[in-house]
Amino acid sequence: MHDLPNSPYPPNSSANQQAVFIPRPAADQPSPPNGEYLKRLGLRVREARARRGMSRRILARDSRVSERYLAQLESGSGNISVLLLRQIAQALDVRLTALLQDEAGAQSADLARIGEFLAALPEETLARAREVLSREFARVDPAVRRRRIALIGLRGAGKSTLGNMLAGELGVPFIELDRVIEQRSGLGLSVIFDLYGQSGFRRLERECLDYVLQNYPAFVLATGGSLVSESATYERLLSECFTVWLRATPEEHMQRVIAQGDTRPMAETAENREAMAELKNILAGREPLYRRADVTVDTHAKSPQESFAELVNATRPPVVNELAADAPGLRTK
């Protein structure tokens, strides 16, 4: 059997004999509506990749779709088959419908009205609205939640350094979620990704977060930078932990990771001229997710001691809450 023309797989790949392709006209361009849909599809793939911090090369490896073909798809010029798009969705660990669905699916009338109401709120009010909903309908005791502090942010934000300092100040355990994953699986992170891919790592990450929440009543937790891109895991973290986004500039993230001798993808491409652009793309994709944290501590151009002082102040429970916890019958004005 001859290799299929314009195949997204490497030549002579056995996958060429299995995939079913939607033929693309040789001369005619897609009709305007179809062309716009392909652009939006490419944008959804690119955003999902950015949220997970995956380079196009890594996605190509995990999905078994060529890097060139992924570039065409993300630019809106690739007419991809459903089978290949399913492979990409699996590598990104998202539902296929999340990539295909162009408009919101059917919703209940109440849910639709709530969505419309929230969508009309200004950006600075949304965090307050979430807090009100969380307090009103949360299943977790707010006092318990305050004793569980989770640090989020890209690598190089200072989660390990500041988290360890904060845990010592509070007299609680300092836990790095990536280390828990390695200890409970018996494998290094790179091996986990090689053996099980992105989706396998995400399952372990969720299981290990559940383990920490079930076994530690109080802690300071340093999370992986891409945890926020896994919706269910991040929602669990937000609901059960007091979350802090440690914020820094892309340049500072890069410099700190390189200084640490990190050999993971960000540092491996540090000398590549596209590395900074890729890092900025990752941060831009995740920033709306990071902003959902309870508080933000900006570490830009600050010493560890200065950032630590701000972190301690940001995570200190309100005095009224402490009094109420000590005297449940106390009424406050």
pLDDT in tens, 62-110: 999 999 999 999 998 877 788 889 889 888 888 787 788 765 444 456 7
Mean pLDDT in the chain? Answer: 79
Phi then psi for residue 278, to 5 deg, are: -65, -40
> Residue 234's pLDDT is what?
93
Give the Cα separation of 48 and 100 in Å (integer).
Answer: 13
Q: Stretch 234-243: mean pLDDT, rounded?
A: 93
Kindly report which listed range (40-44, 80-84, 169-173, 177-181) carries the lowest average pLDDT score.
Answer: 80-84
Q: Stretch 47-57: mean pLDDT, rounded?
A: 87
Fold agreement between 14-100 and 129-326? no
Give the Cα separation of 11 and 129 in Å (integer).
Answer: 53
Burial of residue 245, with CB atoms counted within 10 A of its CB: 0-12 exposed, 13-18 middle, 19 or more buried: buried
Q: Stretch 310-324: mean pLDDT, rounded?
A: 72
Q: Per-domain residue ranges for the chain?
A: 14-100, 129-326
> Residue 216's pLDDT is what?
95
pLDDT at 19 over 90: no
Structure tokens at 89: 């969705």
The larger pLDDT score, comparing residue 22 to residue 56, is at 56
Q: E strands along the chain, which residues?
A: 148-152, 174-176, 219-222, 242-247, 295-298
pTM over 0.85: no
* Side chain identity at residue 234, one-letter code: Y
pLDDT digits (tens, 9 = 90+) for 250-261: 888 877 777 776
> Residue 103's pLDDT is what?
54
Domain topology for 14-100: 434 Repressor (Amino-terminal Domain) (1.10.260)
pLDDT digits (tens, 9 = 90+) for 103-143: 544 445 676 678 778 878 887 787 778 767 766 776 678 88
Structure tokens at 82: 């459903």
Contact (CB, 8 A) for 229 and 254 = no
Highest mean pLDDT pick, 47-51, 106-110, 155-159, 160-164: 160-164
Contact (CB, 8 A) for 152 and 227 = yes
CATH 3.40.718.10 fits 129-326, yes or no: no
Phi then psi for residue 247, to 5 deg, are: -105, 140
pLDDT at 333 over 50: no
Q: How distant, in Å, are the alpha carbons of 19, 26, 45, 75, 103 from that of 79?
A: 14, 12, 13, 11, 20
> Residue 155's pLDDT is what?
85
Give the Cα separation of 173 and 166 in Å (integer).
Answer: 10
